[in-house]
Structure 1
């Protein structure tokens, strides 16, 4: 927005540090120009914010809008609305009844089998009850694995004689026949590559809608970690920006050694929509025991899955160095985390101001490992989560060894040790509906309790201000997203107004705090509808 606008009478958390508060600010030509005490501007014309709490526009440092746009037609099958195989089948049947195109697949995403009373993964036999004619595929909550029906298996040509893809498995029945369970990304892609691709205009419209939804959460900037779920994601997002997408976006396409990424131009690395780096997925997920671990999972001989070898990780790192962008490595298991450090800790960093290597998720972080990252020659940063243990407690309870629990998502330890640190949603690869609700993650960080009330390493709790810094000022240190994370002169005039003071509500009501307004570059892009004012569930 051009011109000058003063905002006053607010409790303004500036995102500069834990005690950084003001009560007024001015935006000139879309950027914060002054931040200070309302008494200093008394009598000047101003927007009266009514004493409400204001935060810097929030950053979701690890999410997947490209995946959401590519699968926009998928039915939402997340907990707490779907908590059984029967409920999953019912939801998919409802969705199937809405399809009109003869070529359309029945798609769903988000189920968490660890919450199912049936005590197992759904299989092709279950999904055949949805349809025996249309292909059916539903992604698990981790987005690493999925289940499909018999029609999808036939279309993909997967039979008892089909070998497992590297780093993945087609789960099988007693006679070796595929049972429809697709474990890890390569197995899922062997089927999902046959899903009809949405038209470009549909993709752009979906991205604009996703941006509007992000704004309703107060989120003004995101990192898309696997952006090549859409073809030519830079063009797709920039085209969406031309049609109304206001979100700042850093794109991280996935590394595929069989189809190397093109070299970047200066224009690719600049602007509101830019290439931020390249992503490598080193291992799987804890909730389905595919994270790569040093000691076997409880009551098993299984060490999870390593999905790529050192050569591919190093090749991705070399491309990132050559092109002046970040390397982002998905590493959850302790063995995967050790491997990331071993490969890069003694190397010279190639970026200034932000870490050259991002570690995504980082489930098990011991004190010595955190110090190892902090003291390394390489610059490391971490994007992690509290919504994972909140939503997926059942899976972690089964997958973590007793001695690992104190080191699981140790946010207080990381806050003390790793400066470029962020909390994030990983939506839609999280087992909860509305996983990008920042206040849900903040409450989990403060209370360290799961959805069922179970405590999860209470010693690693942090304060509300600390948690919000991991969505604002500290999060901004992790990525090349510019101009966001702080209410300070020179930054984008982007901020969120809350309906209640998150700093003073009881801690068990933090998740019920809602964003009332979101402003981007001095323009209001979201206002909570009046009919929603009483909805705090």
Structure 2
């Protein structure tokens, strides 16, 4: 996913979003619905009021199942909270000993409380992109199941958004997926020209790594038959011609985005940040991530933090190529200031498997149109640049995370970490391989040897598992996408993510996919990689906190840690695996304060 890496992605964020419409999911908003007021600011310490000077608890949670993610005490009957931190964990009698005259009782009413979920990889700022664009997602998240439906959805959005279209001169849709379209192909400029030839149209693939534009957008961007493909990008062409067909991949796509935006204001951008983080809270996340921020994004998140607009912690990784000037103190810190900190740097080596731009060592099962049978995708950057980026991160003391989907990309990442470790020596740096969908088993051994943490994406098994099996990788390789089983065999910590807005930050869908690996068609893709529920929960809580050097304060319900909790409608340890996706987050607490209640 790479929405956040484009200037237009940042510009679209600055378009703003109505909080009510965004959180309700009731509709897609006009691009120009900029917000100028933000309602109540979030400051949990202030919301709690002063604690009892006697040292008694501010609140005691009990009356349900409490799963702590603490191996020393996996369950508890009650939890006491004081000053936003956990004061006591144990039996009712043990915890009630901390009760005072002013202690509030919070009844879980038979529900299940866990540590707040920790986003292992996502793009919180750009979750709101879906709220300011036409919803082109296929079922079950939308109606974009064929090209005629995409055209209809764009026209309906245009009818609702005329003021925004006049103001910004752009028609935009998000979330089409060629693998789910009846035609089993990408739309083209010709398909979009049937919607409008006067106003530029941009539709973004659900992966965020490619998109389609109409003829007017190509004209404004100056993209013609004479335009060469940039390094790390592709302009797809009409058959037998050099004329662009409107489908644009990777670097070429991001470059086009930058030419279509840059016109939205600060207040709207702040509203976007607020809405995105609030949406995460609906799914029990108490820490979220902007996993590839550029200069504008970093500055605006910092501004949102200074205005106390963040309901949950927002952890940022700045792009190591384009935003290294932003990776500095005081924001570069292990400590949050007003719920914001920079954790380090982000590197991207390749693209997306479902869009067939990930960089593989063996050819795609079915090559994309216009490519030969030996097509293996392509790198996003030259390998020497990746080596230089890792070397700089090690030299500067930055944690570095890296997007690698294909195994060829992972080979480069592993080699770069090995070389930087040889040069700078071993230390507790916790480099992270993001996605790793086509990891080979020998690469898992290398990750373990080099202390590289894998943050895997088993949610793909539901959304694109059938597509990977039948078109992208073929049956053999598809069985091993996001190989959590290999990690478990080696005793490795791993995390499981959603990469929002590629998918909603739906914690229960992440849990379900990690445990069941069931595809849309009902197939189980790689049963050897199915994960027990307790392990899958650790991958979303304590192991995710460890990935980000925050295991001392988050990820489990233990004395002294932050009182960050998610309350579920049922106990994931008790329901059948097939029912996990149907569980709901009914309440989210950040530092002891309720920030979402269903």
| TM above 0.5 | yes
Q: Specify every segment of 5 or more residues in structure 1 that has no aligned partner in the other structure, as ranges.
A: 529-537
Partner residue in 2 for 1:129? 194
Partner residue in 1 for 2:464? 392
Does 1:95 pair with 2:157?
Answer: yes
The Cα RMSD (Å) is: 2.2
Partner residue in 2 for 1:264? 328
Match of 1:245 among 300, 310, 328: 310
Shift of 1:526: 0.8
Q: Is the 8 A contact 2:351 2:405 kept in 1?
A: yes
Q: 1:475 & 1:104 partners in 2: Cα distance?
A: 41
Match of 2:525 among 428, 431, 456: 456
Superimposed CA distance per residue, residues 139-169 of structure 1 (whole angstroms, 9 cap, x where no aligned partner): 1111000001111111111111111111111
Q: Which moved more, 1:503-512 or 1:53-62?
A: 503-512
- TM-score, structure 2 normalization: 0.82
Q: Is the 8 A contact 1:60 1:219 kept in 2?
A: yes
Shift of 1:42: 5.2
CA distance 1:142–1:464, shift in 2 (3 Å): same
Q: Which moved more, 1:67-76 or 1:200-209?
A: 67-76
Shift of 1:192: 4.2
Q: Is the 8 A contact 1:383 1:422 kept in 2?
A: yes
Q: How many residues align?
A: 519
Q: Which moved more, 1:481-490 or 1:495-504?
A: 481-490
Shift of 1:73: 1.6
Shift of 1:263: 5.3
Shift of 1:308: 0.7
CA distance 1:184–1:346, shift in 2 (3 Å): closer
SS at match of 2:86: strand
Q: Which moved more, 1:395-404 or 1:508-517?
A: 395-404
Match of 1:291 among 316, 335, 358: 358
Superimposed CA distance per residue, residues 442-472 of structure 1 (whole angstroms, 9 cap, x where no aligned partner): 1122222112211201111111111111110
Q: Is the 8 A contact 2:236 2:248 kept in 1?
A: yes
Does 1:413 pair with 2:486?
Answer: yes
Match of 1:48 among 89, 107, 124: 107
Shift of 1:522: 0.8
SS at match of 2:132: coil
Partner residue in 1 for 2:174? 109
Partner residue in 1 for 2:539? 470
Q: 2:592 & 2:499 partners in 1: Cα distance?
A: 28
CA distance 1:26–1:353, shift in 2 (3 Å): farther
Partner residue in 1 for 2:233? 168
Q: Which moved more, 1:179-188 or 1:471-480?
A: 179-188
SS at match of 2:69: coil
Superimposed CA distance per residue, residues 60-116 of structure 1 (whole angstroms, 9 cap, x where no aligned partner): 111112333567522222121211111111111111112213133111111110111
Q: Is the 8 A contact 1:329 1:358 kept in 2?
A: yes
SS at match of 1:222: strand
Partner residue in 1 for 2:6? none
SS at match of 1:425: coil
Q: Is the 8 A contact 1:345 1:373 kept in 2?
A: no
Shift of 1:18: 9.8
Match of 2:79 among 25, 29, 51: 25
CA distance 1:488–1:241, shift in 2 (3 Å): farther
Shift of 1:242: 2.1
SS at match of 1:517: strand
Partner residue in 1 for 2:210? 145
Would you identify which runs of 4 or more consecutive aligned residues in structure 1 move more than 4 Å?
42-45, 69-72, 349-354
Does 1:186 pair with 2:252?
Answer: yes
CA distance 1:18–1:161, shift in 2 (3 Å): farther
